[in-house]
Amino acid sequence: MKTMILIAVAMAGGLTAADHQTFTGVITDTMCGKKHGMLPGQSDEKCIAACVKGSSSQYALYDGKVVLKLSDQKTPAKYAAQKVKVTGTLNEKTQTIKVISIEPEN
């Protein structure tokens, strides 16, 4: 009986880990998305920071095709306009990644 419980727990843990995906793209914001220009003459990094600070815009990941919102709104600040790898789970309905980790892409 103990063995069956341990196997069930191990399988459930394995399914959870399998749900995690790695997404690669550039940290942006939901207002500007793939193209920044709200602040002419400013860097993309400054535009992203201003959009997130001054409006209802949120940090997001642009993967080259779509803009995906990020559940973590603190960590992306240090990676604004940089290419990163985000590990997490995508909620396709809300187009939001539940973030586990964010790290720079090498």
Query: Global pTM?
Result: 0.79
Q: Determine the average pLDDT of the residues in 58-79.
A: 97
Predicted confidence at residue 18, as pLDDT, reads 58
Reported confidence tier of residue 69, pLDDT bands at 50, 70, 90: very high
**35-64 average pLDDT score:** 87
End-to-end CA distance of the chain: 47
- The pLDDT value recorded for residue 19 is 83
Q: 66: number of CA atoms within 13 Å, CB side?
A: 10
- The domain spans of the chain are 20-104
Cα separation values, 75 from 3, 27, 80, Å: 40, 10, 10
Q: How far is residue 44's CA from residue 36's CA, in Å, rounded to a whole number?
A: 6
24, β-bridge pairs? 85
